Amino acid sequence: METKPKSPSSQPDIETLATGEYKYGFETAVAYDSVRKGLNEDIIRELWEKKGEPDWMLEYRLKAYRHWSKLEKAQAEPKWANIKYGPIDYDEICYYSAPKKMPKLESLDQIDPEVRRTFERLGIPLEEQKLLSGVAVDAVFDSVSVATTFREKLADLGIIFCSMTDAIREHPDLVRSNLGSVVPHTDNFFASLNAAVFTDGSFAYIPKGVRCPMELSTYFRINARNTGQFERTLIIADEGASVSYLEGCTAPMRDENQLHAAVVELIAHDRATIKYSTIQNWYPGDKEGKGGIYNFVTKRGKCAGKGSKITWTQVETGAAITWKYPGCILQGDDSVGEFYSVAVVNNHQQADTGTKMIHLGKNTRSTIVSKGISAGVAQNSYRGLVRIAKQATGARNFSQCDSLLIGDRCGAHTFPYMEVKNTSSRIEHEASTSKIGEDQIFYCKQRGLSTEDAVNMIVNGFCKEVFRELPMEFAVEAQKLLGISLEGSVG
C-alpha cells in the first residue's frame, strides 16, 4: 500500500504486473529489544514493565490472559469459520519486539534510519513535508509505533492522534473508560489474546463538533521473525465530530506463518461520523501456499449516539488466511452502519470475512456491499449477520453479496444470518455469483488490451461500488493491488 501520489500518465506498474511478485516482501536488519518467546503471566508482567504502563493496564491484561487461557485449553481458536490451518503454538511466538534505537521520540528525525528507510520503500516517508499534505500517519513497526506525523497541527484543533502507548500514558482516563467497551476482552479467542498482549496501535480522539481536516492513517509493518503483531486501535468521535481513517499493512516474505491478531474499536457519539478504510496487503504466502500472515482480526464500531454513522471499507488482498468481520452496533436511534468490502483470494489464500450489523436503536439503517473474488484454488467466504432487536423498530438493512470466480478450481461461499425480532423492520438480501467470461476477456483483447489489463478492468468494474467509497489515493492503490494479486490467474 502506498499513499504517495503517482503521476497518472506513467505506465502503471506494468513491471509489477508482469512479475506479479509481492513487492513488499523485503526484510529490514535492525537490532531488536524483545521479550523471550512464549506466553504466561510472567511474560505479560515483563511486557507491561517494558512499556511502563499504569497498574490498571496490568490488571486488564491479566484478566484477559486468564480468560484466554481457559479458552485455549477448551478448544483454542473458534472452529466455525470456513478456513483450514494447522495448530498454532502460542508458546513459539514472541509477543514484544521493538527496534532497539527507541529513545523517547522528540522529533521524527530520531527514528532508526533503517526503519525510516523501510517506510520509505513502502512509500510512506515519515517526514511531514514529504507526506501527502492531507494525511497524518502513525507508523507501527512490529510491536511499537515508531512515528506519528502532524501531531501538533492536529493538537491545535484538540484532536488527539498518537500511538496507543502514548495515549495510555498521556490520556489514561480516555483510554481506560473506552478500551474494551466495544470489543470486550471476553469477546472471542483472538480478542482475548489481543487484550492480554497488545503492544501498540493508534489512538484518535476527535472533540465535539470538530471535523478532522486530514485523513488519519496507520501503517502496520511486521518485520521481526517469529513475532506476532497484536495492535490495538481506538478511535473516538465526540458529538458532531467526523474523521476518516486509513489503515495499510505489509510484511516480509517468510516460509513460516505469522500471526496478526488486532482489535479495532470505534465509538461514534451523537451525529458523529467515522469512516474507517483498510487496505490489507499482508504477505499472502507463496504460490504453493507456504508462509503468509494469519490475519485474525476483530473490528467493531459502536454508533453510541443518535444519528451517528460508521462506515467500514475494506480491500483485503493479502494474508494467507483472513478472518475478520468489521461490524457496527447501531445503538443510537437513526444511526447508520455501512460495510463495503472487496476480498480477493488467489493461489492458496483463504478468506472468511463479512460483517455484523446489530440494530438496537429505532430507525437504524445498515448497508452491506460485499464483493468476493476468487482465483487459483483459493476459497472465499462471506459471513454476515444482521440482527434487528425487538426495540429497533423501523430498522432497515440492505445487503448485496457478489462473488466473482476466475477459473474453475476456486470457490465462493455465502453465509448470511438474519434475525429480525420486530415486524416494522425490513431486510433485503441480494446475492450473485459470476465468472469472468472468456468472451469478456476476448472482447477486451480485440480492442487492444492485454489479458492482465482485461482482467484488471473487469475485476475493478466488479468492485466499483466499493472502490468509490475509498479516499481517492487509496482507490487508485487498491486498483493496482488487485491487479497484482490476480496476476497470472487467467492463462
Partner 1 sequence: MSGNNNDKSKIIPERKRTMLEVKNLHAGIEGNEILRGIDLKVGIGEVHAIMGPNGSGKSTLAQVLAGRESYPVSAGNVLYEGKDLLAMKPEDRAREGVFMAFQYPVEIPGVSNTYFLKAALNAVRKYRGLEELDAMEFLKLVKEKAKFVDLDEALLTRPVNQGFSGGEKKRNEIFQMAVLEPKLAILDETDSGLDIDALRAVADGINKLRSKENATIIVTHYQRLLNYIVPDYVHVLIDGRIVKSGTKELALELESKGYDWVKELADKVEMSA
Interacting residues toward partner 1 by CB under 8 A? 9, 11, 437-440, 442-451, 453, 457-458, 460-465
DSSP designation for 279:
E
- State in angstroms the smallest separation of the CB of 443 from partner 1: 4
> Is 62 or 457 the residue whose CB approaches partner 1 more closely?
457
Q: How long a stretch of residues is the chain?
A: 491
> Is 141 or 462 the residue whose CB approaches partner 1 more closely?
462
- Measured CA to CA, the distance from residue 485 to residue 291 in angstroms comes to 16
- State in angstroms the smallest separation of the CB of 462 from partner 1: 6
> Is 9 or 107 the residue whose CB approaches partner 1 more closely?
9
- State in angstroms the smallest separation of the CB of 429 from partner 1: 20
- State in angstroms the smallest separation of the CB of 440 from partner 1: 5
Check: CB of residue 338 under 8 Å from CB of residue 465.
no
Residues 6+ away with beta carbon under 8 Å from 135: 3, 214, 215, 216, 217, 246
* Of the candidates 307, 235, 311, the residue with the CA atom closest to the CA atom of residue 275: 311
The phi, psi pair for 164, rounded to 5°, reads -60, -35
- Measured CA to CA, the distance from residue 377 to residue 116 in angstroms comes to 37
Give the pairing of strands 202-206 and 160-163.
antiparallel
Check: CB of residue 274 under 8 Å from CB of residue 301.
yes
- State in angstroms the smallest separation of the CB of 182 from partner 1: 34
Check: CB of residue 397 under 8 Å from CB of residue 388.
yes
> Is 44 or 470 the residue whose CB approaches partner 1 more closely?
470
- State in angstroms the smallest separation of the CB of 349 from partner 1: 23
Strands (E), 22-155: 32-34, 97-99, 135-141, 144-148
* Of the candidates 321, 340, 317, the residue with the CA atom closest to the CA atom of residue 486: 317
> Is 336 or 342 the residue whose CB approaches partner 1 more closely?
342
- State in angstroms the smallest separation of the CB of 438 from partner 1: 7
Check: CB of residue 230 under 8 Å from CB of residue 197.
yes
- State in angstroms the smallest separation of the CB of 4 from partner 1: 21
- State in angstroms the smallest separation of the CB of 18 from partner 1: 15
- State in angstroms the smallest separation of the CB of 65 from partner 1: 47
The radius of gyration computed from the CA coordinates of the chain, to the nearest angstrom, equals: 22
> Is 463 or 478 the residue whose CB approaches partner 1 more closely?
463
Residues 6+ away with beta carbon under 8 Å from 459: 344, 373, 404, 406, 436, 482, 483, 486
> ∠ at Cα 421 (419, 422), nearest 5°?
130
> Is 52 or 461 the residue whose CB approaches partner 1 more closely?
461
- Measured CA to CA, the distance from residue 64 to residue 261 in angstroms comes to 14
Angle, helix 55-74 to helix 189-197, in steps of 10 degrees? 150
